[in-house]
Structure 1
Amino acid sequence: MTVQTLTETLLQAQEREARPGGAPRRRARRSWSDVAFGVWGVLVMLFLFLPIIVIVIYSFNTGRLLVSWDGFGFDAFGTILAKPAIQSAVRVSLITALIAAVIATVLGTLAGIAMARHPGKWVWWFLGLLLLVSVTPEIVDAVALLPWMVFLGQDLGISVFNDGIVRLSVGSSLFATAVVSYIVRARLVGQDAHLEEASADLYAKPFTTFRRVTLALAMPAVLAGFLLAFTLSLDNTIVAAFVQVSGTTPWPVYVLSAVRSGLRPEIAAVSTIMLLLTLVALALVALVLKRAGDSATQIARTMTGG
């Protein structure tokens, strides 16, 4: 017996001893259904993300029109700095998304804490109203918001509702508020309420208990809700098209108007930047929840409001 043969025999013996029963492990054969579902999953992912990948690629097109590929370059990104209209539209969208996220976070956090810490029949009715806000078509919200904003701004004389930023922020915060409420409630439902009771037993004032205990427990979900509300408010196209006023055109509305004269590479360039901003926000959401000690399942549950 050669040294090589002896070495192979010893290695095989060690593998058999390390496995249950000492039997050599056989590679499980995948069934045809597993292969079919795997292929189907890849096709679904391509169907979902291939258009986004195409836009990202064409954002580096040096041609005059997006559909005409002339070469690879960064000319489209440079055009952003040369066109004040694009800069204004992006700035309006970012400011609007930030204000809408603040509004949604404040209202949604209070609603989520109330639903988690004061359960009752009213919670299911309130969840039903939030669900109604979530599933209502945006065109319905837009048609309802436009006369309401005009009534508040012109008929009642509340001049703040004549401002385009205010209109866009309020309109964008509707759906985002419901999302934040789901997330905060999902976070606190799994937390022990005895901590608040212990704080009260130690003669802490209600506001102190809320600030140092309840809000501290909900803070990862609050931050996650804020970032998600910010990303959701960036592309509220239909509502923005209805409630905007002259001089405060957001980015989605600018894109709709620009498409009529031909889709240009700078549109794809800004869209790529917006996509990266959204991905960064989602990554920060997962990072905040992970640092809070949540598992992958809990992170997914919190982000979906489950």
Structure 2
Amino acid sequence: MTVTQTETILRERSAGTPAPRARKHRSWSDIALGVWGVLVMLFLFAPIIVIVIYSFNTGRLLVAWDGFGFDAFLTILEKPAIQNAVRVSLITAFIAAIIATGIGTLAGIAMARYPGKWSWWFLGLLLFVSVTPEIVDAVALLPWMVLLGQDLGLTIFNDGIVRLSVGSSLFATAVVSYIVRARLIGQDANLEEASADLYAKPLSTFRRITLPLAMPAVLAGFLLAFTLSLDNTIIAAFVQVSGTTPWPVYVLSAVRSGLRPEIAAVSTIMLLLTLVALALVALVLKRAGDSATQIARTMTGG
């Protein structure tokens, strides 16, 4: 290869190389909006950060900092009332999540695969359930539970765990329905149609095709329903039965005598549990191949 040919090749390569782009300077408005966004995030999360820090307080009261230590976490092991309240909340949240996932999955599949005028009415009903104030649900549930348990003789509704589980599953069912519906709307129904063309029974098609397609959303809905049921304070305060006091109601009663560090310690543990559940939701959807935008859309039922 001659020198001229080499120079020609080098010139062609250099001509094909894009020139470095000039660094874009951020305007004052962009900087101001960025600072404002950071301040808003700090404002929203500062109370949570404070309660996590004070969970390591060795003082007698939560507001009086005495020193750093793990005494509050060790106190949890010494108080049966706290252990019972946490146990009731976890059991209730698990059962409520199962109820919400079962009903919500079927509702979401029906709305996605059999659209029509009825589905919009049903979606509006779910929206009504979502926006109804909890105090309204609580006031309605209490006499309903009494009617079922005492007047109609269905003694199962006299059990505190059953009451709390049913009450907590109301809002969670709507959330699961949104998530499953959003997931299946973005999935092609050709596989289900092909299964029907091959004379597969509807139950087999549902079990082998529809349910696997919706499974990431079902698991995400279950985890979200679990976390939502942990924090159902108002309904729990109305429908609880003596001996089955959940954690949120226990905290409300503890406020009267002054908050203690062990309250913050348990709250920190439940916060970590919630964050782990949300992380698992994102992980399940990511492993299913969803992008960050699709994950956000599915989790919000959009």
* 1:94 corresponds to: 90
Displacement, 1:272? Answer: 0.2
Displacement, 1:201? Answer: 1.4
Query: Matches of 2:15 and 2:74 in 1, distance apart?
Result: 64
Q: Describe the superposition over 1:149-176 as per-residue Cα deviations: whole angstroms up to 9, x where unpaired.
A: 0011111110000000000000000000
Please state whether the residue corresponding to 1:82 is helix, strand or coil.
Answer: coil
The 5 A counterparts of 1:1-306 are 20=18, 22=19, 24-306=20-302
List, as ranges, runs of 4+ consecutive aligned residues in structure 1 with deviation greater than 4 Å.
16-19
- One-letter identity of the residue aligned with 2:157: F
Query: Matches of 1:102 and 1:159 in 2, distance apart?
Result: 21
Please state whether the residue corresponding to 1:145 is helix, strand or coil.
Answer: helix
> TM-score, normalized by length of structure 2?
0.94
Specify every segment of 5 or more residues in structure 2 that has no aligned partner in the other structure, as ranges: 1-13
Q: Is the 8 A contact 1:105 1:226 kept in 2?
A: yes
Please state whether the residue corresponding to 1:132 is helix, strand or coil.
Answer: helix
Query: Matches of 2:213 and 2:260 in 1, distance apart?
Result: 47
- One-letter identity of the residue aligned with 1:284: L
How many percent of aligned residue pairs carry the same amino acid?
89
Query: Matches of 1:19 and 1:305 in 2, distance apart?
Result: 45
Query: Matches of 1:18 and 1:253 in 2, distance apart?
Result: 69
| Equivalenced residues, count | 290
Displacement, 1:213? Answer: 0.2
> TM-score, normalized by length of structure 1?
0.93
Displacement, 1:25? Answer: 3.3
- One-letter identity of the residue aligned with 1:205: K
Residues 19 and 116 of structure 1: is their aligned pair in 2 closer, same or farther, counting only changes over 3 Å?
Answer: same
Specify every segment of 5 or more residues in structure 1 that has no aligned partner in the other structure, as ranges: 1-15
Query: Matches of 2:228 and 2:112 in 1, distance apart?
Result: 24
Residues 168 and 142 of structure 1: is their aligned pair in 2 closer, same or farther, counting only changes over 3 Å?
Answer: same
Displacement, 1:19? Answer: 5.9
Displacement, 1:17? Answer: 6.6
Q: Is the 8 A contact 1:19 1:25 kept in 2?
A: no
Query: Matches of 2:288 and 2:265 in 1, distance apart?
Result: 35
**RMSD, aligned α-carbons:** 1.2
